[in-house]
Amino acid sequence: MSPFLITRTLPEDATGADLRADVLHGLTRTPKELPPKWFYDARGSELFEEITRLPEYYPTRAEREILLARAGEIAAATGARTLVELGSGSSEKTRHLIDALLPGLEDYVPVDVSESALRGAAESLEKDLPELRIHALVADFTRGLALPGTPGPRLVAFLGGTLGNLLPEERATFLRSVRTLLAPGDALLMGTDLVKDEATLVAAYDDAAGVTAAFNKNVLSVLARELGADADPDDFEHVAVWDPEREWIEMRLRARHALTVKFPELDLAVPFEAGEELRTEVSAKFRRERVRDELAEAGMELAHWWTDEQGRFALSLATA
């Protein structure tokens, strides 16, 4: 079997240019905001892995429970010969799905912005499953995707609840772009965290050990390294709040006192008032009807809805 292919559709300097644009847009407006994708440098990705093992952070375990219980049904319902995984990261929990889809599965197309994560995942999968063709894509799946011409039916997986990180309008755009990837007979498998009591939700984003606080503040290290910003993590406090109207969690960094963050490379100084907050993440929580309606709006039909035993998290299977 030939070694895996890796295709990059993301320019090498995409990160720098994107981050600059997001800083110029998000830190010069009120209220201040940055998109959550900037958490995930090497350190941030490590911290996220640590979050997934915290007692308070149930989504990863709940999703794994559903995948383990339903992988056979998913395989039977889709008969997929190609699995495309958006935001595959380490591809760790996808293994259950891949194992269930074999032997019908011929091609695996992991898509991620992190080339190192893709290489690591592809190398270990290739060792275990030499018959599986692996075509890794270094790409930003929120920007429209060109997929390799692999055999159908195709199953597109978008796991982890990452949909919740997109704002409603971004979700609509994203789901419509996913829809364009699906031919008749193809399917989308999507993980979404569910609305539940506030205490459980807030604890999941403000854990006792402070790992999520460190993860949130890690964005300041990214700004320092990439753009020379002089933000001191000790000047900010980690905040996690539940918005009951919009049914999402917001993570914010709150300035402990008045301060200015300088971005010499951007010729920019960003003043914070004492107590002023920078929104670093939205993590939307869903109900079945919302998932069904948003899928329908994008031209897809909810065919299966599976939750974990405790009803905390859901996997949806949708058809084109």
Q: What angle do helix axes 59-78 and 94-101 make, rounded to 10 degrees?
A: 20
CB 97 within 8 A of CB 74: yes
Look at residues 306, 142, 280 and name the one whose alpha carbon lies nearest to residue 220. Answer: 280
- For ligand AVJ, which residue of 78, 114, 165, 319 counts as binding (CB under 6 A)? 165
Q: Which residue, 84 or 211, has its beta carbon nearer to ligand AVJ? A: 211
- For ligand AVJ, which residue of 35, 44, 110, 160 counts as binding (CB under 6 A)? 160
Is 26 an interacting residue with respect to ligand AVJ (CB under 6 A)?
no
65 is in an annotated binding site: no
Is 44 an interacting residue with respect to ligand AVJ (CB under 6 A)?
no
Q: Which residue, 56 or 235, has its beta carbon nearer to ligand AVJ? A: 56
Cα–Cα distance for residue pair 43/116, rounded to 1 Å: 13
Is 142 an interacting residue with respect to ligand AVJ (CB under 6 A)?
no
Q: Which residue, 78 or 283, has its beta carbon nearer to ligand AVJ? A: 283
Look at residues 124, 111, 202, 94 and name the one whose alpha carbon lies nearest to residue 150. Answer: 111
The CB-of-152 to ligand AVJ minimum distance in angstroms stands at 28
Site string (220-259) toward ligand AVJ, x via CB under 6 A: ----------------------------------------
If one counts every other C-beta atom within 10 angstroms of the C-beta of residue 234, the result is: 9
Return the HEC string of 115-127.
HHHHHHHHHHHHH
- For ligand AVJ, which residue of 281, 300, 312, 315 counts as binding (CB under 6 A)? 281
Is 35 an interacting residue with respect to ligand AVJ (CB under 6 A)?
no
The CB-of-294 to ligand AVJ minimum distance in angstroms stands at 17
User: Could you tell me the two tokens for 173?
Assistant: 């755009």
Residues shown for the chain: 320
Q: Which stretch binds ligand AVJ (CB under 6 A): 93-101, 105-113, 145-153, 154-162?
A: 154-162
Q: Which residue, 80 or 222, has its beta carbon nearer to ligand AVJ? A: 222
Q: Any idea what DSSP says for residue 283?
A: E
User: Could you tell me the two tokens for 263?
Assistant: 């971005």
Cα–Cα distance for residue pair 79/187, rounded to 1 Å: 10
Q: Which stretch binds ligand AVJ (CB under 6 A): 3-11, 115-123, 138-146, 159-167?
A: 159-167
Q: Which residue, 75 or 97, has its beta carbon nearer to ligand AVJ? A: 97
Q: Which stretch binds ligand AVJ (CB under 6 A): 75-83, 135-143, 161-169, 254-262?
A: 161-169
The CB-of-271 to ligand AVJ minimum distance in angstroms stands at 27
* Cα 272 to the center of its chain, rounded Å: 29
* Cα 14 to the center of its chain, rounded Å: 18
- H/E element, 221: helix 211-227
- Residues 6 or more apart whose CB falls under 8 angstroms from that of 50 comprise 211
Contact residues toward ligand AVJ (CB under 6 A) are 51, 59, 160-162, 164-165, 205, 212, 281, 283
